[in-house]
Chains A and B, each alone.
Chain A
Amino acid sequence: KAGVTQTPRYLIKTRGQQVTLSCSPISGHRSVSWYQQTPGQGLQFLFEYFSETQRNKGNFPGRFSGRQFSNSRSEMNVSTLELGDSALYLCASSSSGRTYEQYFGPGTRLTVT
């Protein structure tokens, strides 16, 4: 089975721009979670989707949003980028989310200048 894929792998944006990151889960997995990883804050949960519904959301401002499509692929969007949004954004998929056994993609490294 193919693993979790994330595109793009690297991205450089300017403050004030917006960005969309994409995640394709493992085939058959219906739950997709997003995490932000920074040296200062570590790994932080952004949101989780299951069958196109957001089930949980972390403590991030409204500039961070996401969605999931009927094929389970997910996108996250960050509007009005700030320097502090520079991070590794990780996507994880699981079959149902109930057991929390999540498999991670390689991440998207976002740099905001």
Chain B
Amino acid sequence: AQKVTQAQTEISVVEKEDVTLDCVYETRDTTYYLFWYKQPPSGELVFLIRRNSFDEQNEISGRYSWNFQKSTSSFNFTITASQVVDSAVYFCALGSNYQLIWGAGTKLIIKP
């Protein structure tokens, strides 16, 4: 079975703290894609990053970084020096068979 688990339901930190959102996935496919999306209160899902199963290089984009480890089936997301505008629900997803399988989401609250 294919599954994505985001064990953290809600995280609350003070602005400028670093925060890591965890994502663990299960799949038998050898080729797959992993994603992170952000959903602000407006409701629209915003694409953040895609990784394919053959590319385990970590990625950094500004204050965002992603750590993909196939050995532990994890694809974690870190925000450095968090800001209030980062407050949103963050979803991790697994791409397989023309669909995205979603985690339950982590609600991130950044307090000023």
Interface string of B78-112 (1 = CB under 8 A from A): 00000000000001010111111111110000000
* Residue B44 lies at the interface, judged by CB distance under 8 Å to chain A: yes
Within 8 A of A (CB), among B19-53: 33, 35, 37, 42-47, 50, 52
Q: Using a Cβ–Cβ cut-off of 8 Å, how many residues does chain A contribute to the interface with B?
A: 26
A42, A56, A103: the one contacting B98 at CB < 8 Å is A56
Whether B98 pairs with A55 at a CB distance below 8 angstroms is yes
Q: What is the chain A residue whose CB lies nearest that of B104?
A: A42
Complex CA gap A50/B99 in Å reads 12
What is the total number of residues of chain B having a CB less than 8 Å from a CB of chain A?
A: 24
The distance in angstroms between the C-alpha atoms of A39 and B102, with both chains bound, is 13
Contact at B102–A43, with CB atoms within 8 Å? yes
Main secondary structure of the interface of A (DSSP, over half): strand
A-B contact pairs, 22 of them (CB 8 A): A31-B98, A33-B98, A33-B100, A42-B104, A42-B105, A43-B93, A43-B100, A43-B102, A45-B99, A48-B99, A50-B98, A56-B97, A56-B99, A99-B33, A99-B50, A100-B100, A101-B50, A106-B43, A106-B44, A107-B43, A107-B44, A109-B43
Please list the residues of chain B having a beta carbon within 8 angstroms of any beta carbon in chain A.
33, 35, 37, 42-47, 50, 52, 91, 93, 95-105
